[in-house]
Structure 1
Amino acid sequence: MGKKKRMKRSLYDAELFTLQAELVKLQEWVKATGQRLVIIFEGRDAAGKGSTIKRVTQYLNPRVAQIVALPTPTERQKSQWYFQRYISHLPAAGEIVLFDRSWYNRAGVEKVMGYCTMDEYHRFLHQCPIFERLLIEDGIMLRKYWFSVSQDEQEVRFRSRLTDPMRRWKLSPTDLQSMQRWDDYSRAKDEMLVHTDIPEAPWNLVESEDKRRARINMISHLLDSVPYREVPVPVLKIPKRPAPTGYLRPERQLERYVPDHAAMVESQAAAQGKKHT
């Protein structure tokens, strides 16, 4: 993967906003036409899947576009058909579902870390294309994205998380294991592609050495892959405010308001400013 210069912030912000406006149009088309869209985000740990999902959904209606990030399966779920717990999260008419990791856990972390048996793993590789063809046959649009990042960049991102209290929760022992098992994950990914990169639902690889470029490239590809069109929105008019009816509201002191923390911050900032003048 060639190292590219980081995309300029001004260009990134402008293009991202343009693409996000198109995502809103896509959402309205999905809602108006009753389409069902599933977007799968997979890839290396720290490759930028989560931040890309945030940009995709930033201006979308959460009742239409839902993010699914499932926890470790329960003992009951482990006894079910593997795909069963994912099926309940598939979209109904007019919905978009974004899987922040998906049924492909079995082809990646479960295989590498020994969380599944080899029989379960091979059964998955056999059943997954069948399962996805059934979804597509039923009319679901399925888009699959794999985010790639180099070993060096992954380590940089892990180290930044380790020292950042706001993002420390993103780092788990399993994530750190991915550094030690880099080749195992590479082998698992390559084998996964051999079995599941099918014409009906191909894998789309996203180079994520530069997160800005990755987000722009992924969103642009998604928009190009869906035959959406702009749907006319109803014309809304703000009504005139009605005349007062004489209703008297309770006194403010009888109600419980949150403290004015913002005023305290402003006061402290003003005091600090005076000290430096």
Structure 2
Amino acid sequence: MGVEIEFTHLSERQAALRLREALGGHVEEEDPHAFRLIGSALGDIGVELDIRHVHPWRADGPGRWLRPPFSSWLGAAVRPFVPREMVTGPLIPERLAELDAVTAALHEAGARGQGGGLLDSLGLHFNIMPVATDAPTMLRLFQAYLLLEPRLRAESLVSPLLRLHGPAGYPAPYVQRVLSPEYRPDLAQLCEDYLAANPTRKRSLDLLPLFLQLFPAQVAPRIRGKVKPRAVLHYRLPVAYVGRPGWSLAADWNRWIEVEKLAAALTAEPELLGKASRRSGF
């Protein structure tokens, strides 16, 4: 899995330099608002201002119409309102605990964030590589997630402000269809049904990166915005509290483990789906 953690106050450059102190490696500057820590103890890590308009040379950046120094000026102007984002490369789950020390180091250097602000939440996103991408595996995993999503949402979005900024829910008819014991799509149909009901990345478990990787011709013309093709499940529901001393990623990761355990149970005993759906009110 890869991990994305958003925070405020500490600049992108300062954060990258603090990570180098904690993890080793060397820092490379992509632009004045994006840096990469190369060869650290946790692999390569990116730190950037989380707005694509200030990264002019990227494929989805504004290079054709907003070049330096104007893009740099824009970044300086919006920094008080836009969070910074730290993005790791793939990690095995056993190394997740090491990120607690990283967020503690950022906090000590001045990084802040208490889940969200007036404009948006501060994301703690997990990019999870599924063990397989065949239709039965993906369906059971997604069914397990849909069954648990109301409770996960309640446990993650614990204030009116966070609930306001949280990802929109899946359409109720779509949830009912996916949770039906008779729903047995192949992978292409699973993609088509998801895309028809959710042509947006703003879902608590965003499957668009995975489907864009698997079916680019089918998916790309029908979506807009910042979606990169990746063979991952983009778990967008948790929020980050870098400004809270002693904050840990463990609770949110353990919630995801519950999803995987339920998916395994549904695979072993398919009749549990109907019982779990009725118990959850679907």
TM-score by length of 1: 0.27
Q: Quick check: which has more Rg, 1 or 2?
A: 1
Q: Bigger relative contact order, structure 1 or 2, given CA contacts below 8 A and separation 6+? A: 1
Superposition TM-score, scaled by structure 2 size: 0.26
